[in-house]
């Protein structure tokens, strides 16, 4: 099954797609500038690119943590980036009642990992007929995603993406099982690997989550070698100053090297 996003397709036999952007919208201007720099990396290489950013991080560890500008301002910002740069945009949604509003702007609607079993939310997103990207919960086995797929398909929507982002492994730790990519792909839909959330240490620093940034590039390479159809990467120019997920975002200046590496790996494994 291929998923059509504007002028490119995601799936087996198609170019590797990149979903990239900051964890959360920190400011309108900052988000726009980052989107411009990302496009400048991907466009010359003729790489399919979707810009992502959250308007509300509703599952922050601490009640005092920055959550984002909110749905109205967030959609305004993403709509502006979409219009100015002519790039598709993705964001996540937490409430079924918000789905109609965000669907007016988003090219892909994302279901967060913690909400991947919320039936009403999934059905609301699916009924928009927009592509729906579901992140596999840290608490699910890859074969459990079959039920999620069936919920979306029950609406007649076949535009489905499944994203692996690690599985809980004891306390404050995640592990990436590359078999998951193969198993979920057998469900018949494109599979994305979230290389940044997969190296997260949830709540690992007490009131904030930690992470092992040095593992982003090795795991991204491994996932592409295992046959994923795209990479999800949270990117920031100065990760240490990021207002959310500072420990797990890829520095922007490391992105070109990673892109070139995984494109070569993808070329090799696509010959199978």
Per-residue confidence (pLDDT) for residue 81, from 0 to 100: 98
CATH number of the domain to which 115 belongs: 3.20.20.70
Mean pLDDT of 141-169: 97
Task: Give pLDDT, residue 191.
Answer: 98
pLDDT (mean) for 173-180: 95
Domain count, the chain: 1
What are the structure tokens assigned to 150, written together? 């069936």
* pLDDT one-digit tens code per residue, 161-171: 999 999 999 88
**CA–CA distance, 236 with 256 (Å, rounded to integer):** 13
Q: Is residue 227 over pLDDT 70?
A: yes
pLDDT for the residue 204: 61
Evaluate if residue 2 carries a pLDDT over 90: no
Quote the pLDDT of residue 272. 59
| Count helices and strands in the chain by DSSP H and E runs | 8, 15
Q: What is the mean pLDDT of residues 134-153?
A: 97
Residue 43 exposure: Cα atoms within 13 Å on the Cβ side? 11
Q: What is the pLDDT of residues 48-94, one digit of tens each?
A: 999 999 999 888 777 878 898 999 999 999 999 999 999 999 999 99
pLDDT for the residue numbered 5: 95
How far apart CA 227 and CA 95 sit, in angstroms, is: 32
| pLDDT band for position 208 (cuts 50, 70, 90) | low
Q: How far is 190 from 42, CA to CA, in rounded Å?
A: 20
The pLDDT score that the predictor gives to residue 123 is 98
- Phi, psi at 5, each rounded to 5°: -125, 105
- Give the structural domain span for 131: 3-269
Residue 29 has pLDDT above 80, yes or no: yes
Residue 246 in this model has a pLDDT that exceeds 90: no
Residue 262: pLDDT over 80: yes
Task: Tell me how far the alpha carbon of residue 192 is from its chain's centroid.
Answer: 8
> Does residue 178 carry a pLDDT above 90?
yes
pLDDT at 211: 81
Confidence label for 206 from pLDDT (cuts 50, 70 and 90): low
Question: Residue written as tokens 């927009």?
Answer: 130
Query: Averaged over 96-113, what is the pLDDT?
Result: 98
The answer for residues whose C-beta is within 8 angstroms of residue 171's C-beta and 6 or more apart is none
């Amino acid at each position: 099954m291929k998923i059509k996003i504007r002028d490119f397709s995601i799936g087996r036999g198609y170019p590797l797609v990149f979903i990239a952007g900051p964890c959360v919208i920190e400011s309108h201007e900052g988000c726009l500038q980052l989107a411009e720099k990302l496009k400048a990396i991907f466009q010359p290489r003729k790489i399919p690119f979707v810009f992502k950013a959250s308007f509300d991080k509703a599952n922050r560890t601490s009640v005092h943590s920055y959550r984002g500008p909110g749905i109205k301002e967030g959609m305004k910002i993403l709509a502006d980036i979409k219009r100015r740069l002519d790039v598709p945009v993705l964001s996540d949604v937490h409430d079924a009642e918000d789905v109609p509003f965000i669907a007016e702007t988003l090219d892909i609607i994302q279901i967060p990992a913690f909400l991947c079993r919320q039936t009403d939310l999934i059905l609301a997103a699916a009924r928009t007929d927009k592509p729906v990207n579901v992140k596999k919960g840290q608490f699910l086995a890859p074969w459990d995603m079959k039920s999620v797929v069936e919920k979306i398909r029950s609406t007649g929507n076949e535009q489905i993406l499944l994203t692996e982002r690690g599985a809980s492994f004891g306390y404050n730790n995640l592990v990436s099982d590359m078999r998951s990519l193969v198993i979920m792909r057998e469900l018949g839909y494109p599979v994305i690997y979230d290389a940044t959330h997969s190296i997260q240490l949830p709540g690992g620093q007490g009131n904030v989550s930690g992470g092992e940034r040095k593992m982003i590039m090795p795991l991204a390479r491994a996932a592409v070698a295992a046959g994923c159809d795209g990479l999800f990467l949270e990117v920031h120019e100065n990760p240490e100053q990021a207002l959310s997920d500072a420990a797990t975002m890829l520095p922007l200046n490391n992105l070109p090297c990673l892109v070139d590496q995984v494109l070569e790996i993808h070329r090799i494994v696509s010959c199978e």
